[in-house]
Amino acid sequence: MDLNLLTVASTSTAIAERATTATQLAEGFYKKIEAEDGDVHAYLTLAKERALAQAARIDALAVKGDPLPPLAGVPVAVKDVMVTRGVRSTAGSKILGNYIPPYDATAVARLEEAGAVILGKTNCDEFAMGSSNENSAYGPVRNPRDKSCVPGGSSGGSAACVAAGTAVAALGSDTGGSIRQPAAFCGVVGLMPTYGRVSRYGLIAFASSLDHIGPLTKTVKDSALILRVIAGRDPLDSTSAEVPVPNYLEQIEKPVQGLRIGIPKEYFAEGLDPEVRAAVETAIARLEEAGCKAVPISLPHTRYAVPTYYLVATAEASSNLARFDGVRYAYRSKAARSLSQMYRNSRDEGFGAEVKRRIMLGTYALSAGYYDAYYLKAQKVRTLLTRDFENAFQSVDAIVTPTTPTPAFKLGEKADDPLAMYLADIYTVTADLVGIPGISVPCGRSKSGLPIGVQILGRHFDEATILRLGHAVEHSLA
């Protein structure tokens, strides 16, 4: 069995039909990780004991002939910003280098309840702050499609392991594009659900009003299968929504004929790589051939999205990361001789440069005399961005844009230019600010062979429509 070709759907079918066992698959993936992940560095921690115990439970059900859960035996990786009981969870940071959580994130627990086998934890930008996966305290991830390039961030490890075939699927988190951008760079499918659709309980917080959990997969169908499992109200997360979860698998097979897709002029302006533009326009043309109607639209406040995001996100990060003080858990400096010095040294030694930069930006934006000028103004612009999308969705069913302005860039290319790095998220941050769902689907390759992704955005809690359109793109370009 070729592990590179396995999908969520084909894996569960193979186990149900006894073509293989969950244990054989898990052991096969660990051999593949050992042989191939050294160059990619997608994994930080493996959970072999836990994975094989779960695989044995699935095999016992199969032997008895009992009904199998929907993700029975599917090998899945989890971004290291989600806590896992008894398995090291670092958030890509030195400050959590030895943290062993006593509980599971809700999304992880739901995956296991559905039969998934958790292989391990994937590398990521520290506390999910980055667009290249070069900010990890444990070294960068390399793009499996071209190891001289970044895989995108911050869910670079999750995207890379799916692209490399060292996991069938993975969970990532998206605060400003951290699922969709690496999906585009690595040539996989990345789905960010509506804010509130998937519980954030157990997600190590970056920016609480922006953080989302979602799947990275090889196909749109696989994303639909995983979302169905992890979505739904969770009493442990007050921001999770009491909204029914549809059967996405039934929805994606419906024809797209008659759907109106908005094409925002602001996303096709200066700065968009010509090869990316051509690939996305081809995807739009295929949707039109399938019966969709392309409608020109405007999202006029888009130009303010990046500065708005980097005020809101850093302010929330400043607040959330205050808990890492060296007192209760995590890293504590051994050089301190007083309490205040222990605070300073622990944070200085434990946090990386990008995390420090964002904490300082956020603290400044929230400080006395600057709150109204920066943070409050950013929240007002966030409202204007929300109105832009509400107005657009009165006339269209979904919005189609590039996921990224360029294909994957070289490792180190933007490491010394934070502003250039931040602009890599220019097409993705708006959806996080507004809270709508978005998906990135592969739609072509550059002349040098690097993947290109098309982004589809939908109304709140209308993941079904963007999955349906993504499925149509996927099949029209196959």
Q: Are 228 and 114 in contact (CB under 8 A)?
A: no
Peptide bond into 333 cis (omega under 30): no
List phi, psi (to 5°) of 399: -125, 135
The Cα–Cα gap between 158 and 170 comes to: 5
Tokens linked to 48? 């072999």
The Cα–Cα gap between 36 and 142 comes to: 12
Q: Which of 154, 173, 223, 440 is flagged as catalytic?
A: 154
Other residues' Cβ atoms within 10 Å of the Cβ of residue 465:
21
Tokens linked to 443? 């739609």
HEC readout, 227-274:
HHHHECCCCCCCCCCCCCCCCHHHHHCCCCCCCEEEEEHHHHCCCCCH
How does DSSP classify residue 69? P
Tokens linked to 65? 């002939």
The Cα–Cα gap between 456 and 466 comes to: 6
Active site residue 154: yes
The Cα–Cα gap between 82 and 120 comes to: 11
Tokens linked to 11? 């894996």
Q: Which of 89, 173, 178, 240 is flagged as catalytic?
A: 178
The Cα–Cα gap between 146 and 164 comes to: 11
Tokens linked to 45? 């921690």
How does DSSP classify residue 118? E
Question: H helices of 133-203, where?
Answer: 156-164, 180-186
Q: Are 199 and 237 in contact (CB under 8 A)?
A: yes
* Bridge pairing between strands 451-458 and 398-402: antiparallel
The Cα–Cα gap between 444 and 67 comes to: 39
Active site residue 334: no
Task: Tokens 């035996």: give the residue.
Answer: 73
How much helix, strand and coil, in percent to the nearest 5, is found in the chain?
45, 15, 40
* Strand ranges (E), 88-219: 117-122, 169-174, 189-192, 212-217
Q: Which of 12, 79, 136, 240 is flagged as catalytic?
A: 79
Q: Are 254 and 468 in contact (CB under 8 A)?
A: yes
Active site residue 319: no
Which of the residues are catalytic?
79, 154, 178
